[in-house]
Amino acid sequence: MNELKALNARFIHNFVTNDVKSHDALLHPRFISMTSRGARVSRADYLKRWATGFDPEVYVYWDYRDELITVFGDVALVRATNKATIRRDGVESTNMSTYTDTYLREKGEWKCIQAQITAVAPEHYPGDETIVRAYIKGQPQP
């Protein structure tokens, strides 16, 4: 469980720092991503987007919270919710999305085989007491 929590923290940190090399190491060769709009994104296209996906001037606040990890033998579901405050053209908006990253353990190593993200309606937002880690303008908060 601690290994999967650490992988989830690394996954998020890789996003916030646009660290493609570290993120690539987490992904299974047959990885696929499912966007919140239902698009299937190949591993190669996903990693291309990863290189520039986080801009600290746009994502002025980011956290992950409400982490839930479930292990089924050699498969693990790593779930959490992200809160983002985004500033575009001087206007800020806040929203949340929940994700499920599916990991497969092969040869003693966990690799992410699928990442799926879904928008969360405000009435289902998890509370601040469930925050695992927060970032302000890309900087981790204590």
39 CA to centre of own chain: 17
Domains of the chain: residue spans and CATH: 2-140 (3.10.450.50)
pTM of the entire structure?
0.91
Given pLDDT bands bounded at 50, 70 and 90, which one contains residue 39? Answer: very high
- Alpha-helical regions (H) of 18-66: 20-26, 43-50
Q: What mean pLDDT is reported for the chain?
A: 95
Separation of alpha carbons 45 and 65, rounded Å = 27
Q: Is the pLDDT of residue 52 over 90?
A: no
Given pLDDT bands bounded at 50, 70 and 90, which one contains residue 113? Answer: very high
